[in-house]
Amino acid sequence: MRTVASPQTASTTRSDVDRRRILLVESSPAAQSILRGELEAEGYEVKVLDDPEKVASAAVEGRPDLILLDPANAGFDLVRQIKSSQETMETSVVLLSTRTEVADKIAAFDSGADDYLTKPYFSKELLARVRTRLRVRDSLEASRQLSNQYVEMLFGIGSAITSVFKLDDEVEILLRQALVGAGAHCGSVWLVDKGGRNLQVRAVQGYRDGGPSVDDTLPLGAKIPALTGAADDTPVEIRLYEDREARTVFVPMVARERLVGGIEIQPRESARRFSPMQQKMLFGLASQAAIFIENTRLEREVRSMFLNIIVSLAGAVDAKDAYTHGHSLRVARTALIVGREIGLPRERLEPLLMSAILHDVGKIAIPDEILQKPSRLTDEEFEVMKGHAKAGAKMLAHIPALGEVIPGIRNHHEDWDGGGYPDGLAGRDIPEFGRIILIGDAFDAMTTDRVYRSGRPVSAAMEEIRQGRGTQFDPDLADAVWSAYEQGKIHESMPQHTPGIYELIEQIQ
């Protein structure tokens, strides 16, 4: 049997076969019988109580959708009690009273009652009021669910969009959140590309066929293909498109008055179209996402600027030592190969990259005659040279963003057996970045030409690293670099090419 509540709203909270429960509190057997009959004829499940004392507990146990009661029997205190309990505060309370004074009605509403009807009443009016109360309850419930979903979505996006280098995963999450939140069936996320001229598909979900594909592009200002039926020609960047035929909306993501992209979304087959509430929610979601994406982009720009400064700094050091041109970037390349081989997460690879690029930055403090001396250094000169590790760490110590980067700079000359410098650390006491950079540093020193000798083949350098396993080098890392070599990730011609910074950044995406 169908319920009397609006099927559209009811379907969002309960199924049609789920009957509405009404608790009727009435002491007169005659009135009980008439009311019960009328309510049941409307499809409600009715429970009758004649003892007001039992109403509060029956409301908790039976979870009625609505309570009908006469305050002459129960008093306003009972209404207050129902409306202040966590378990029953959502239950609608309709009072049926013989008292017609305005003061009584005010007292009733003040106690929390949802409606007030004076006896005698027309049963049609009573039934209409019951229907109205249940409808209001449904729409409150639906909007609460929607706002819960919205809050969850925003939190989801806030915590998901955190990476500075990789946006695609976050865009996938954003789309999933939007689909779940809007109860939608399929959709896609489009972002404005680097040049700012095109929209590019970055994520697609739920299409069986005929939907957009990742990397599809569309010139800005053109319409989304699914929306060709849309009535007006307003460019896509400034409004929410709704194509009733295709039941598709395109919600623009706008941040700082600039179009960042958009979410294209379709409701489920069963939903005719998005409600104004859902559309608002999608707008809210899209603008939050736009801000996150824009911030991520800005952060990437700042990071990229920061990395460029670091590369220039390292380049200045390499230039001072004419024989090691490009050394820092090549060391960073090998360090990343080792870091990836041992499964370092992305969040660690980025500081590893910076640490490796900056590992010799302290050489700026070393006099040129020592740094550029073509012959072997004297013991005193070597002591001065050794100072570069500490000097580099000290130079950068005041930059909080480099906290994770500095140990690799200070300790990149520590040997596994404790025979290195500057701190004479051994084994796992040596910071991990220091142990990794040491391998990259040794590999580059062996494989590049120096004034007093030419570079050795990669195979010989690899053999040397294997020999130093457990004495100079961390055995696990020596195994990792060997494994990378065997897989062809390190090859004979590699030392001849010095990578650029963006080539390296790509390695950690």
Query: Do strands 21-25 and 198-205 pair parallel, antiparallel, or not at all (unpaired)?
Result: unpaired
- Residue 144 vs 450, nearer CB to Fe ion: 450
Cα 259 from chain centroid (whole Å): 20
- Residue 78 vs 438, nearer CB to Fe ion: 438
- Interface with Fe ion in residues 22-51 (CB under 5 A): none
What burial letters (b/e) apply to 226-245, b meaning 16+ CB within 10 Å? bbeebeeeeebbeeebbbee
- Residue 441 vs 474, nearer CB to Fe ion: 441
Rounded least distance, CB 330 to Fe ion, Å: 10
Among 170, 360, 414, 432, the residue binding Fe ion under the rule CB under 5 A is: 360
Say if residues 392 and 357 touch (Cβ distance below 8 Å). no
Taking CB under 5 A as the binding criterion, the range among 162-170, 265-273, 353-361, 499-507 that sits at the site for Fe ion is 353-361
Angstrom distance (rounded) from CA 200 to CA 505: 22
- Residue 243 vs 360, nearer CB to Fe ion: 360
Consecutive H or E run containing 243: strand 241-243
Report CA-CA distances (Å) from 405 to 256, 352, 420: 34, 7, 19
Say if residues 184 and 279 touch (Cβ distance below 8 Å). no
- Interface with Fe ion in residues 419-458 (CB under 5 A): 441
Say if residues 498 and 330 touch (Cβ distance below 8 Å). yes
Nearest Cα neighbor of 25 from 85, 72, 60 is: 72
Rounded least distance, CB 148 to Fe ion, Å: 55
- Residue 341 vs 360, nearer CB to Fe ion: 360
- Residue 146 vs 504, nearer CB to Fe ion: 504
- Residue 70 vs 360, nearer CB to Fe ion: 360
Taking CB under 5 A as the binding criterion, the range among 266-274, 355-363, 366-374, 397-405 that sits at the site for Fe ion is 355-363
Using CB atoms within 10 A of its CB, is residue 168 exposed (0-12), middle (13-18) or buried (19+)?
A: middle
Taking CB under 5 A as the binding criterion, the range among 5-13, 357-365, 480-488, 500-508 that sits at the site for Fe ion is 357-365
- Residue 157 vs 442, nearer CB to Fe ion: 442
Rounded least distance, CB 392 to Fe ion, Å: 8
Query: Do strands 248-255 and 241-243 pair parallel, antiparallel, or not at all (unpaired)?
Result: antiparallel
- Residue 229 vs 424, nearer CB to Fe ion: 424
Rounded least distance, CB 406 to Fe ion, Å: 14
Angstrom distance (rounded) from CA 159 to CA 104: 52
Say if residues 73 and 25 touch (Cβ distance below 8 Å). yes
Taking CB under 5 A as the binding criterion, the range among 9-17, 268-276, 354-362, 366-374 that sits at the site for Fe ion is 354-362
* Dihedral angle, C-alpha 377, 383, 384, 388, nearest 10 °: 110
When asked if residue 415 is in the footprint of Fe ion (CB under 5 A), the reply is no
Rounded least distance, CB 434 to Fe ion, Å: 10
Rounded least distance, CB 442 to Fe ion, Å: 9
- Beta strands across the sheet bearing 21-25: 45-49, 21-25, 66-69, 92-97, 115-118
Residue 461 dihedral angles phi and psi, to the nearest 5°? -65, -40
Rounded least distance, CB 363 to Fe ion, Å: 7
Rounded least distance, CB 311 to Fe ion, Å: 15
Nearest Cα neighbor of 47 from 67, 29, 31, 27 is: 67
Q: Which residue has the tokens 């006469």?
A: 70
β partners of residue 264: 188, 250
Residue 6 dihedral angles phi and psi, to the nearest 5°? -55, 125
Site string for Fe ion, 458-477 (x = CB under 5 A): --------------------
Site string for Fe ion, 309-348 (x = CB under 5 A): ----------------------------------------
Rounded least distance, CB 351 to Fe ion, Å: 17
Report helix angle 76-84 to 55-62, nearest 10.
30
- Residue 360 vs 432, nearer CB to Fe ion: 360
Rounded least distance, CB 489 to Fe ion, Å: 21
Rounded least distance, CB 412 to Fe ion, Å: 6
Rounded least distance, CB 235 to Fe ion, Å: 54
All residues at 6 or more sequence positions from 322 whose CB lies less than 8 Å from its CB, including other chains: 372
- Residue 114 vs 360, nearer CB to Fe ion: 360
- Residue 303 vs 386, nearer CB to Fe ion: 386
- Residue 251 vs 331, nearer CB to Fe ion: 331
Q: How many residues bind Fe ion (CB under 5 A)?
A: 2
The amino acid occupying position 242 is: E
Angstrom distance (rounded) from CA 253 to CA 90: 36
Nearest Cα neighbor of 411 from 427, 263, 224 is: 427
Rounded least distance, CB 360 to Fe ion, Å: 4
Taking CB under 5 A as the binding criterion, the range among 135-143, 171-179, 358-366, 464-472 that sits at the site for Fe ion is 358-366
For Fe ion, the binding residues (CB under 5 A) are 360, 441
